[in-house]
Amino acid sequence: MSKPSLICGSLAFDTIMSFGGRFSEALLADQLHKINVAFLVPQLRREFGGCAGNIAYNLKLLQGDPLIMATIGQDGSSYLDRLKQLDIDTRCVRNIDAAYTAQAFITTDADSNQITAFHPGAMAQSHENKVGDAGKVALAIIAPDGRDGMLEHARDCASLNVPFIFDPGQGLPMFNGAELEHFIELATYVAVNDYEAELLTERTGLSLHQIAQRVSALIVTRGELGAEIFTDGQRIDIPCVKADAVVDPTGCGDAFRAGMLYGLTQEMDWPTTGRLSSLMGAIKIASQGGQNHVPSRAEIEDRFQRAFGYRF
């Protein structure tokens, strides 16, 4: 029986609203010290999100075996029901009755400016989960989550000899240079986007080359420019796959990470793993939200062959 991939990260609800005007027309520059404004948002949608949920969703599309380690609150039953319907293992999802599930409230204006309010809720208790409770796993990923949970899960993986991907994402600013360097020392792989790579090098004082020397591979995604994988003293350039449409970048990084998890657990070479990851990001960007794209495994395989000339 194959071992699952442990996905440590957040489960969250994203409430996304569209304001037809411009924030700049409602905010007076000389009155910013006493703001009292309301925006009419006739368009609203609620999405299932959070890094752990998005990664697990995409890994399941590839017919991988995700096991989520996360926390939800008193309002999280609908998310649990969804994961169970998708046949995603939720035995390591802890319910925090005294909190709400993490959620983001995002309002976008006509110029694509955004005002976001984020409530961490149950995510702040993620450290109550223990990696050892997951049993035997093939690989783990430490994705954005509660600060204490990320630190503890990394230490747990290292002590249990569980290889893991350190994926700090938007959680990176929570950690100082010494803490980030400690994550790198414990991790098997590090995955960041280009902005996060700059912040990581700035805070740790380490160059990308020095970080790559401390892990089996350093992966840096660069949006429409593709990605770079630094491993065994070489750099592998991964091309960006042309998307059918560019609709919403939300969750593209998570889709990319799912491709990495699948490629690594299937012992694919790095060029193939990187290309599959790139393809998963391109498939996601053509849909709204992080979990609304629904390609079959066969469709993913066919798209990979069309893009790269061979099957994974």
Q: Along the 312 residues of the chain, how does pLDDT read in single tens digits?
A: 679 999 999 999 999 898 989 988 877 777 777 778 888 999 899 999 999 999 999 999 999 999 999 999 999 999 999 999 999 999 999 999 999 999 989 888 888 788 888 999 999 999 999 999 999 999 999 999 999 999 999 999 999 999 999 999 999 999 999 999 999 999 999 999 999 999 999 999 999 999 999 999 999 999 999 999 999 999 999 999 999 998 888 899 999 999 999 999 999 999 999 999 999 999 999 998 999 999 999 999 999 999 999 999
191's CB contacts (< 8 A; 6+ apart) are: 165, 166, 167, 218, 219, 221, 256, 257, 260
pTM: 0.94
* Gap between the Cα atoms of 74 and 121, Å rounded: 10
How many CB atoms neighbour CB 186 within 10 A? Answer: 19
Q: Let me know if domain 5-12+49-101+122-308 sits in CATH 3.40.1190.20.
A: yes
Exposure of 32 by Cβ count < 10 A (0-12 exposed, 13-18 middle, 19+ buried)? exposed
What residues does each domain of the chain span? 5-12+49-101+122-308
